[in-house]
Amino acid sequence: MKSSRILTMIRALRPSTPKSVMVLCVVFSAACARQAEIAKAPEAPEDVIIIRDDFGTPHIHAKTDEGASFGLGYSEAEDRLEELLKNYRRAEGTMAEAFGKDHVREDYLSRLWRHREVSEANYSKLTLKTRRCIEAYIAGVKEFMKQHPEQVPAWAQPVQPWQVVALGRYIIWGWPLGDAFEDLERGGIEPDPLPYRGSNEWLIAPQRTAEGAVIALIDPHLSWYDQFRFYECRLYGEKLKISGMGILGASLPALGHSQWCSIAMTTGSGDTADVFEETVNPDNPLQYQVDGKWLDMKVKHEKIRVKKGEKEYDELQVDMAYTNHGPIVARKGGKAYAIAIPYSESVGLPDQVYDMMTAKNLGEMQEALAELELMGQNVMIGTVDGDIYYQRTGKVPIRGKGVDPTKPIPGNISANDWKGVHKPEELVQVKNPPQGYMQNCNVSPFAMMKNSPLRLKDYPAYVYGAEETPPHQRAAMVVELLDAGNKVTVDQAIDIAINYGVFGAEKWQEQLKAAVEKKPIDPKEHADAQKLYSLIMNWDRQSGPGSTGAVAYKYWKDAIPEKARAGDGMGAPPPESLTDEEMIAALDAAAKNLRTEHGSLDIPYGKIYRCGRREADGSYARTFPVGGGNPGDGMATPRAIGFRKDASGAYVGQGGQTSTQIVLLTKPPKSWTVLPLGESDHKESGHWDDQAEKLFSHGQMKPTYFMDEIGLREHIASTSVITFRSEQTK
């Protein structure tokens, strides 16, 4: 289909005259008023245009938000149907039924937290508009499955709208669980490990940018596989105008930008969960004490179906006990430990995401944030009006006087129970700070910018959620780059987002130089040490793919006594306890290790550190050199990549920069993105690992052509038209 005809079709989707919308004012109920503002669902069939660009990203055009949602569901199913269905199984706790006993624990936890139960029972509490969009999205998934039955796996379950809500709960749960698990550890109980959840984000105010508009970075750091492998899209409906990245199956991306605002999030918040230590009746383990009275625990019986063979299943019955605080997760010394999470009955995340993605200014965005359905996060908002805003958001419970929420709380005293949830205006936040920038790469509010106005003394400690600690190495480099920025261009912003710089390395170089000047290396007896020293001294402190100095420095630091590297995570200088002799001896050891492992001292960083997509059996058909990441203590760069050694001896990225976005908030915004692997799960599509090869490996990003029909015209790879009918949602 010719691009000129495509553009004509897209323009035809737009209303030529404004629509009048009848609004029913119901003064006694804000919720009813919100429902009444929703326009009538489309009755006539609606053409939805899906344009795929050079990298397979869908640009979905529809007249209505429902039509756009239908197109997104269809596109996600077309690219990654099996992973989408797995996400719904993960959320409802039925992975073992399809994939066997290794998933029993995962299913148990999803059922313990009642994701399906709560979502299915309370789905009708979502706004009518959100439900229509979710139902249209699910209809799009079903339409693809109907058209392509050969791609539907044998283990596929029926897809239903409430699964979108359950998936949202499942995804956010790890963050409050992290708070609770820390409390358990302080109580002497070792919980199951949780995966690392980090991210980068920053905002540069208009007075510091070349174009006089806000520049935003959105950069989550999660696994490149399974449930956290993000999906990229452009979405154009009636109100929805989005470029974003989202969880597969979530019906709308939560990270990205609209035509009005950008939305970024990183891990960090006030304390959003507690552990209550319950006093258990020694004569009845299913009773617990409150204010001197024995109360019965509620017991839920679950049957987890476990696949054994092709058509064989076991059925595992599990009992789950709950107190008034939450589920019992551990017992020790006559006590039971219940985790309390304020999201236990929540289903409103899809509402909040829709409201955030349609907010037209900072005021409307703050209203959306006030819904408090997001997990505890550092949220940064940029606007086309020039505002930059930060809120340390989340449902932060109000603790009783004298209660210490950092460790298990005595549950037998009702006065220790929560007193509600802190209002949004009570959370840590700042608007348009005079510094003209801010970042939160998983740091304390104290470390977000130089001379941060956000201080612990101004908040309850559990609301602030951190100590006043300096930034770690990754964030420290970002602060230096942002603070020095003036008239920052988009290219410079991308360089900051994918920066290979190693903060604090110059201090180690200086001290090594001083040590060698005091005691020169004998080039005859220690030729390799001398060469390694030269590589380190000539290194520009950038771990780019071609850097031999970065590898020399890394091996040298690894050979330094461990106690001297205690401050590496903060980019700290060498401690006074480190001797000249130890530094010089480390050169010999490092050179020996390099030769043993790689046969040479001149090893480019990208020969050892790679990116590429993992095959189903865990192997790699091909990988590509990459720069940056965290190959070891003391070398964390703003560009975050976590590596794992493969069979060849190379270290291949497994997680880190999951879906990086740079947004220039002009009117309309312009943006640039990159995924670490590719958009599709189908090798034959050409988009299985194309971004790893063509972009990520080179430290590059691609333009999104957001609301830019002319720019997109030369990059159209395919176009399809599907039809959405409102009856498909029934």
DSSP-assigned letter for residue 628: -
User: How many other C-beta atoms can be found within 10 angstroms of the C-beta atom of residue 660?
Assistant: 26
Instruction: Indicate the burial class of 227 (C-beta count within 10 angstroms; 0-12, 13-18, 19 or more).
Output: middle
DSSP three-state, residue 598: helix
- Residue 341 · residue 273 · CB < 8 Å: yes
Dist. CA 485–CA 495, nearest whole Å? 12
DSSP three-state, residue 458: helix
| b/e code 440-458 from CB counts within 10 Å (16+ = b) | bbbbbbbbbbeebebebee
- Token readout for 21 is 């919308």
**What pLDDT score was predicted for residue 648?**
87
SS3 percent helix, strand, coil of the chain, rounded to 5, is 35, 25, 40
**What pLDDT score was predicted for residue 727?**
83
**What pLDDT score was predicted for residue 39?**
44
- Token readout for 339 is 């985790």
- Residue 169 · residue 113 · CB < 8 Å: yes
Dist. CA 481–CA 455, nearest whole Å? 23
Instruction: Indicate the burial class of 89 (C-beta count within 10 angstroms; 0-12, 13-18, 19 or more).
Output: buried
Residue 673 sits at φ, ψ, to 5 deg, of -140, 165
- Residue 64 · residue 46 · CB < 8 Å: yes
Dist. CA 178–CA 61, nearest whole Å? 39
Angle between helices 65-92 and 115-122 (to 10 degrees): 150
Dist. CA 358–CA 363, nearest whole Å? 12
- Token readout for 675 is 């995924």
Spacing of C-alpha 122 from chain mean position: 26
Dist. CA 231–CA 354, nearest whole Å? 17
- Beta strands per DSSP E along 367-416: 377-383, 388-393, 409-410
- Positive or negative, the Cα torsion across 162, 168, 173, 176? negative
**What pLDDT score was predicted for residue 195?**
84
| Closest by Cα among 86, 53, 171 to 675 | 53
Furthest-apart CA pair in the chain: how many Å?
89
- Token readout for 353 is 């995401």
Dist. CA 401–CA 90, nearest whole Å? 39
Q: What is the DSSP string of 213-260?
A: S-EEEEEEEEESSGGG--EEEEEESSS-EEEEEE-TTSSS-SEEE-SS
User: What separation in angstroms does the CA of 569 have from each of 272, 582, 641?
Assistant: 26, 20, 15
DSSP three-state, residue 131: helix
H or E element, residue 527: helix 527-537
Dist. CA 474–CA 477, nearest whole Å? 6
Residue-range domains of the chain with CATH: 274-340 (2.30.120.10), 505-606 (1.10.1400)
Along the chain (730 residues), what's the average pLDDT of each consecutive run of 10 residues? 62 52 32 43 84 98 98 98 98 98 97 98 98 98 98 98 98 95 95 89 98 98 96 98 98 97 97 98 98 98 95 95 98 96 98 98 98 98 98 97 96 98 98 98 98 98 97 97 98 98 97 97 95 98 98 97 94 96 97 96 97 95 97 92 93 97 98 98 98 98 97 97 90
**What pLDDT score was predicted for residue 14?**
61
- Residue 178 · residue 197 · CB < 8 Å: yes
- Residue 248 · residue 229 · CB < 8 Å: yes
- Positive or negative, the Cα torsion across 217, 222, 223, 225? negative
- Residue 709 · residue 7 · CB < 8 Å: yes
Dist. CA 286–CA 298, nearest whole Å? 8
Supply the pTM of this predicted model. 0.94
User: How many other C-beta atoms can be found within 10 angstroms of the C-beta atom of residue 53?
Assistant: 21
Residues contacting residue 564 through CB under 8 Å, at least 6 positions apart:
574, 575, 577, 578, 582
